[in-house]
Amino acid sequence: MTQHSDEFILYDLRVEVIAGKGKMMCNHKVGDFFELSGENLSFPAGQTFPIYPLAALLPLLPAKQRQTHENDWMTTDTDIGCPDPHCAGIFRITRTGERVFRHSEVSAVPLKK
Ligand SMILES: [Zn+2]
């Protein structure tokens, strides 16, 4: 495999609903999940996901995709609570793998080298 000098790595992510204490108020069930690879979200066929927790999760995902310092809470913390304070839903973000991207394939801005 050829090494290109403009390569970088992002983690693939899986976000899965786990049970917190109390009742699920939103339309997400334990075990529901979606995955993020690069810029692409994917959902299992036929599974839906409510927009309010999705909106709360989205800002965290690009940071979680990137390599972070071992002392950074972004590295260690995996569970995000549902934004509905009455909902028991917790969303566990797992780094499932590493994917190599090339700057020249994802950006029109030239690298400064
Ligand atoms: Zn919820």
* Domain assignment of residue 113, yes or no: no
CA of 65 to the centre of ligand 1 (A): 23
Rama region for 22: left / alpha / beta (φ>0; ψ in -120 to 50; rest): left
What is d(CA 28, CA 49) in angstroms, rounded to the nearest whole number? 6
Residue with tokens 């993020």: 36
Output b/e per residue, 26-38; b: 16+ Cβ within 10 A: bebeeebbbbbbe
Distances (CA, A) of 106 to 42, 61, 73, 102, 111: 19, 18, 28, 7, 12
Q: Residue 94 domain-assigned?
A: yes
Q: What's the 68 CA to ligand 1 centre distance in angstroms?
A: 28
Number of domains making up the chain: 1
- The answer to whether the CB of 53 falls within 8 A of the CB of 34 is no
Give me the domain span that covers residue 82: 7-99
Kindly give the distance from the C-alpha atom of residue 25 to the centroid of ligand 1, in angstroms, as a whole number: 5
Residue 90 in domain:
yes
pLDDT tens per residue across span 16-70: 999 999 999 999 999 999 999 999 999 999 999 999 999 999 999 999 999 999 9
Could you tell me if residue 104 is inside a domain? no
Q: What percentage of the chain reaches a pLDDT higher than 90? A: 95
Distance 11 CA to ligand 1 centre (A): 25
Single pTM value for the model: 0.92
* Residue 112 covered by a domain: no
User: How many angstroms is it from 23 CA to the middle of ligand 1?
Assistant: 9
Q: What is the 107 CA–ligand 1 centroid distance (Å)? A: 35
Say how far apart CA 92 and CA 16 lie, in whole Å.
Answer: 5
Distance CA 73, CA 83 (A): 19
